[in-house]
Structure 1
Amino acid sequence: MCLLLQPTMAGGNLKNAVVAFLAPLPSIIFYLIFLSNNHHQTDGILSPLWAWCYHHPLLLANVLFFLNVNVLFWVISQVLKNHWMIDLYWTVIPVMLVHYYGSHPLADYNWWRSTIVVLMTWVWSLRLSHNYFRRENWQWGAREDWRFTDMSSQYGKHWWWISFFAVYLSQQVFLIGVCLPMYVIHSVNVPLNIWDIVAVIVCISGIVVAYCADTQLHDFVSRNNKLKELGKPVVPNLDEGLWRYSRHPNYFGEQLWWWGLVIFAWSLGHGWAFVGSLINTMCLAYVTTLVERRMLKQDYRAEAYRRYQKTTSVWIPWFKSSPGGKDKNA
């Protein structure tokens, strides 16, 4: 039976990989054609389409996202009957956006600041991509986010159209929003300052914290899976490493990364770019509530997790408290 399933799984994995690589090509090809037309224009007169693309870089990014991600990814999800791809592209789209903003003809920026942010974005993306594939046992599209599965059950036959708004259109708000500092960084050309150093420290700290937290969580899940295979009781809750001081240190690290980018934008005089990270943080606060409710529904860990909630900070790592609320070290 296993031998029969393996070729099927391998075929599905290859199919999903091909789909994932082909999906963003429409936007990439369109943008390369735009750059080519802009570069080879000798009389300074662009066609209306290319002129609009030239004068509205942020709007163009939103149009490409809407057509290529919201619409095309949604259509693909209806064919595959799975919304797995948007999770993968959370790790890819910021990289695409930072290069888009940096290569746009209207871009004007400090080379050092741009290079630093581009390199950090690649490191962030590689870390998150590694965690995604490690969690999915190195498969493409093995499963979709459990929240989408829950919503599918909740909305039933209406999910096919609700998913366009709940899964895809909402991602435009989040991803374009949190990447607004990347647009600002490639729109203002001023020398580096002390706040750039602060921003780099915050961003790198976020990447390191998220990596350590996700690795500790992966090791914990792997150990529990081995215990299940041996027929032994599993450990109900992770309370070691960073998880001893925060119930969601991976979320905390991710937020540090995005707010570090906000510091770049703020130091360049565009504090308004914080709005995307604020919306993302508010959304993640809601997701935190959903995750903890899910934990409490699992009988084998509910009691341990309630104790964990009473003694451990939600996001920001901090010292343990007693169940009554007083610090043990007080």
Structure 2
Amino acid sequence: MRHGCESAASSAMSSKNLGNATVALLSPLPSIFFYLTFLNCHSDDGSLSYLWAWCHHHPLLLANILFFLNVDLHFWLVGLLQSSHWMIDLYWMVIPILLLHYFATHPLAEFDKWRSRLVVSLTWAWSLRLTHCYFRREKWQWGAREDWRFTDMRRHYGHNWWWISFFAIYLSQQVFLMAICMPLYAIHRNVKGVNIWDAVAASVCSAGLTIAYFADTQMHRFVRRNEELQTEGKGRVAILEQGLWRYSRHPNYAGEQLWWCGIAIFGWNVEYDWWFVGPMANGVCLGIVTLLVEQRMLKEEFRAEAYRNYQKTTSLWLPCFRLPKHKET
């Protein structure tokens, strides 16, 4: 009987996983189909209809409209139907890729091909790293759970959450994502040749990717080991204080911020006036997340005291040597 229940539960989980994977893969298709239609919209005489002419002359507005309709509205409705806003978490690492190729293939695009190829390669590496981290954390399941911060807000706002979630999760993330991706647009609107600053930008991006990868991997191993200890009935380790986590409380966020600083240097190099907005927006986003994470750590009884000591001795973001612990008198 127990075996039958476990088999039924496993079957239901597999069905849910397949369903969520199908929803996630199909969700961006309306925007992709619309854009491909636009790219092939020229008539035999080369003329454009009003709609396609507008799309041709307003690439940024079009990108924002597609984002609003296909992500903000569509993902929000899916989240309401499923009672879980898990999909935006997955697409945080996919949307910059979609925007990058949109900027590079738009009819008004003009750019140095070597810089573009470099940025495309780096951005794909960034996306694959985050995607791998996401699925590894979720035990290779699609939509097994929504972000714990959204779950906390759901409990806090109660019956008003259904409409607040549209602004708190989707519209706000459109502002952040479009802001941090603007250097990708600037890179594909300037034909300036590659120079030493592109090498600097690529180095900064690579350093950020490396730091974030190792930090996430170390945390993944720590979490899995704690799960094993709990299964064995042994006490869990309260704080990860090894590897990069010995020198920073959030080295993964430090790496992520460094990555976007590298992208901003690419934008600055092509004389994009608002190159600094991306790192500022990402810094604000990560700052909010950092505050929420630290508050959560201090609410967990078994690690609260250890985490308070960790805060006193370890840098918030930037890795640096640990401070000595103060002895209480």
Normalised-by-shorter TM-score class:
over 0.9
The separation in 2 between residues aligned to 1:222 and 1:123, in whole angstroms, is: 25
May I ask how many residue pairs the two structures share in their alignment? 323
| CA positional deviation for 1:42 | 4.1
Q: Which TM-score applies when normalising by structure 1? A: 0.96
The separation in 2 between residues aligned to 1:307 and 1:169, in whole angstroms, is: 37
Q: Could you tell me whether the CA contact under 8 Å between 2:264 and 2:278 is conserved in 1?
A: no
The separation in 2 between residues aligned to 1:139 and 1:109, in whole angstroms, is: 39
Answer yes or no: is 1:288 the counterpart of 2:290.
Answer: yes
The separation in 1 between residues aligned to 2:153 and 2:276, in whole angstroms, is: 29
Alpha-carbon deviations, 1:156-195, whole Å to 9, x = none? 0000000000010011001111110100000001111111
34, 58, 62: which one aligns with 1:30:
34
Partner residue in 2 for 1:328: none
List runs of 5+ in structure 1 lacking aligned partners.
Answer: 326-330
| CA positional deviation for 1:276 | 2.8
Partner residue in 2 for 1:3: 7
191, 199, 209: which one aligns with 2:193:
191
Answer yes or no: is 1:85 the counterpart of 2:90.
Answer: no
The separation in 1 between residues aligned to 2:92 and 2:200, in whole angstroms, is: 25
Alpha-carbon deviations, 1:83-103, whole Å to 9, x = none? 000000011111111111000
List runs of 5+ in structure 2 lacking aligned partners.
Answer: none
| CA positional deviation for 1:248 | 0.1
| CA positional deviation for 1:280 | 1.8
Give the stretch that moved more between structures: 297-306 or 40-49: 40-49
The separation in 2 between residues aligned to 1:208 and 1:277, in whole angstroms, is: 18
Answer yes or no: is 1:313 the counterpart of 2:315.
Answer: yes
3-state DSSP class of the match of 1:273? Answer: coil
Partner residue in 1 for 2:18: 14
| CA positional deviation for 1:143 | 0.3
Q: Could you tell me whether the CA contact under 8 Å between 1:57 and 1:104 is conserved in 2?
A: yes
Counterpart of 2:211, as a letter, is V
3-state DSSP class of the match of 2:302? Answer: helix
Q: Could you tell me whether the CA contact under 8 Å between 1:114 and 1:185 is conserved in 2?
A: yes
| CA positional deviation for 1:267 | 1.0
Counterpart of 2:230, as a letter, is K
Answer yes or no: is 1:241 the counterpart of 2:227.
Answer: no
- Map 1:1-330 onto structure 2 (within 5 A): 1-37=5-41, 40-324=42-326
Same amino acid, percent of matched pairs: 60
Q: Which TM-score applies when normalising by structure 2? A: 0.96
- List, as ranges, runs of 4+ consecutive aligned residues in structure 1 with deviation greater than 2 Å: 40-45
Root-mean-square deviation over aligned CA pairs? 1.1
Counterpart of 1:89, as a letter, is Y
Counterpart of 2:221, as a letter, is D
Counterpart of 1:43, as a letter, is D
Counterpart of 1:199, as a letter, is A
The separation in 2 between residues aligned to 1:306 and 1:282, in whole angstroms, is: 23
The separation in 2 between residues aligned to 1:277 and 1:97, in whole angstroms, is: 17
The separation in 2 between residues aligned to 1:2 and 1:216, in whole angstroms, is: 32
Alpha-carbon deviations, 1:250-298, whole Å to 9, x = none? 0000111111000001111113132132122012112111100100111
| CA positional deviation for 1:239 | 0.2
